[in-house]
Every structure is written in C-alpha cells, then in structure tokens.
Amino acid sequence: MERMNDLRIRAARPADLDAVLAFWKVAAEGTSISDDRDGVARLVARDPDALLLAERDGALAGTVIAGFDGWRCHLYRLAVHPDHRRQGVGGALLAAAEERFVRLGGRRGDAMVLDGNALAHHAWRAAGYAPEPQWSRWVKPLEERQPADGLPES
C-alpha cells in the first residue's frame, strides 16, 4: 500500500531540530555522537539542504542526511517511522538525496549502515546499495582541545 502522492520531502529548518531529535529516538536504530541539538544545528547551519525530511499529513515520516563535502556523498540517519515503513518513504528520501548529489556533481553515495540492522540492509539493497566488505570504518572521538593557558580555543 503505497501513499507517495501525499508525501512531501523538504530540507529541515532550525525550527525542526527538536522534532527531528525526538523522531530519531523512535525511528532510528542506534545513536550517533552528534544526536544532540548542537550537533544537528551545526549541520543545518553549515549545509541547510543536507538534512531531508519526509512528511505525511503534517507528521514527520522519515529523515536522511545527504552530506556532500565537495568530493564525497555521504548518507546518514536514514530513518522511517515504524508506522510508515514499507510505504516507499525510505526510497523517496534516497531518491531526493541522490538528486541532490547529482546536482552538486557527486559520483557515488556512501551510506553508514549498522552491521546488525537487517531491516536497514534490506532497504539499502532495495535502493541499489551494496556493502563493500574490503572497507572498514575507523573512528576516533574528538575532544575539545585546551590551549596552554587552559582556555578553550575559539
């Protein structure tokens, strides 16, 4: 049962941040180090078109972050509300993200997908994505650095 004609996709605005954070607690698998108001506010301020929202009947149905750094296209936080899954919301969000990337000159979308999230694996494969087992994600949490005088750098 697809209901695409009443789905609206748009870029998030600063006024949407609290709703997005609350939505991720219900619809997103796992958490991110940037799942706080300051982190999402920085994203929207730096790239106002990166956080895409899917709305149906005025309610948030899904999100995806489509970040482009001028070289690579990165997809994060594809999340669909449980009540809207299997209705084309994720596919519509990915199509909008891919259109954005093409407009910006991007050549390939890279998605961050949790290894243990089988439902997400199905959605990503259905959209034409595949894992690259020869690659691993390496991470290092960054801490605010203190200069020699003990005051935070500005």
* 112 — pLDDT class (breaks 50, 70, 90): confident
* 33 — pLDDT class (breaks 50, 70, 90): low
pLDDT tens digit string along 117-135?
888 898 899 999 999 989 8
pLDDT > 80? residue 32: no
CB under 8 A, 24+ apart: contacts of 131-139: 137/112
Domain residue ranges of the chain, discontinuous segments joined by +: 7-126
**Which three-class secondary structure state does DSSP give residue 22?**
helix
Q: What residues does 110 pair with on adjacent strands?
A: 74
Query: Which string of b and e fits 102-136 if b means at least 16 CB within 10 Å?
Result: eeeebeebebebeeeeeebbebbeebebeeeeeee
pLDDT > 60? residue 109: yes
Residue with tokens 């998030």: 12
Tell me which CATH code domain 7-126 carries: 3.40.630.30
pTM: 0.85
pLDDT at 79: 94
DSSP 68-107: E-SS-EEEEEEEE-GGGTTTTHHHHHHHHHHHHHHHHT--
pLDDT tens digit string along 78-91?
999 999 999 999 99
